[in-house]
Amino acid sequence: GGGMGGMGGMGGGFGGAQGTGGGGFPGGFGGFGGFGGMGSGGVNLEEILNALNQNMRRTQTSFTVRLSLEDFYLGGQKSFRVLFGGQQQDVVVPVYAGMPDGAAMRLEGGIVVQMQQKPHATFTRNGDHLEAKLTLSLYEALTGFRRPITQLDGSPVWLSADGPSAVTSHGTLRRLRGFGMPRFRAAGKGDLLVRFYVRLPDKLLTGESARLLQQILKGAAGTASPLAPAGERLQRMQLVREVDGEQGEQF
């Protein structure tokens, strides 16, 4: 009985694990009487297992933090408060420009932090590339456009299309090289890809305006609709809703 009681002396040794976060066993394993009770009254195994489970919950070492796309673009340091070892602790996480979404980092003390990106209002990230959507008027789609878009560092970049390639069809994808995400641990940046959508006028042109437009577009924008054969009745279609050209329609 006295020999087993000696294990109680190990309480101080195991108790040193509290230094990882302050949440080790109370008094080390000595908190259970140093297992010394095995010499007389036996051991309550259920009590020990429950204490182990509680300790594991208190000493969680893996955490997930959510960062903005700007954080991944610019890099820097972010501070978070986490529950570690049963105590609230401030953790400073270094974020490197261009770091991939979902990257994990092991910090001092064995804390593992995984970084996940929050959705962004303008951009979608695809590796080193950024993707965005932009809607043009029919006038811009046919004659060219100049539009600013705010980058992730807050500075504007002006997008334009003119000359022979000025006409932009609905769903056209254009690329601007070197305006994407910084390449992680490499030089340069990825590309900015912009999908364009064309919004048509809500009302048909009539009278002189319609005649002038017909003259302008005749031959340059296709032919007019064919005439229906005599006796055929035209069926006027009803608008259900406008859909995103990228998504298509579901019936």
Query: Per-domain residue ranges for the chain?
Result: 61-117, 123-199
> What average pLDDT does the segment 171-175 reach?
92
CA dist 122 and 151 (Å) reads: 9
CATH of domain 61-117: 2.60.260.20
The pair of three-digit structure tokens given for residue 43, joined into one six-digit string: 């051991």
Q: Do domains 61-117 and 123-199 have the same CATH topology?
A: yes
Output the DSSP codes for 17-56: GGGGTS-S-TTGGGGGTTTGGGGTT---HHHHHHHHHHHH
Q: Which of 121, 110, 109, 74 is nearest to 95 (CA)?
A: 74
Check whether 225 has a pLDDT greater than 80: no
**Amino acid 244: pLDDT:** 54
Is the whole model's pTM more than 0.75, yes or no?
A: no
Q: Which 3 state secondary structure label does DSSP give 62?
A: strand
**Amino acid 217: pLDDT:** 76
Arithmetic mean of pLDDT over the chain: 75
Go through 120-153 and write b for each residue having 16 or more CB atoms within 10 A of its CB, e for each that does not. Answer: beebebeebbbbbebebeeebbbebbebebebbe
Check whether 248 has a pLDDT greater than 50: no
CATH superfamily, domain 123-199, is: Urease metallochaperone UreE, N-terminal domain (2.60.260.20)
H or E element at residue 145: strand 145-150
pLDDT tens digits for range 45-61: 666 556 555 554 545 58
pLDDT tens digits for range 93-139: 899 999 999 999 888 777 888 999 999 999 999 999 999 999 999 88
CA dist 139 and 44 (Å) reads: 81
> What average pLDDT does the segment 153-164 reach?
88
Classify 108 in phi/psi space as left (phi over 0), alpha (psi -120 to 50) or beta: beta
Check whether 141 has a pLDDT greater than 70: yes
What percent of the chain has pLDDT above 70? 67
Q: How confident is the model at residue 89 (pLDDT cuts 50, 70, 90)?
A: confident
**Reduced to 3 DSSP states, what percent helix, strand and coil does the chain have, rounded to the nearest 5?**
25, 30, 45
Local structure of residue 251 (DSSP, 8 states): -
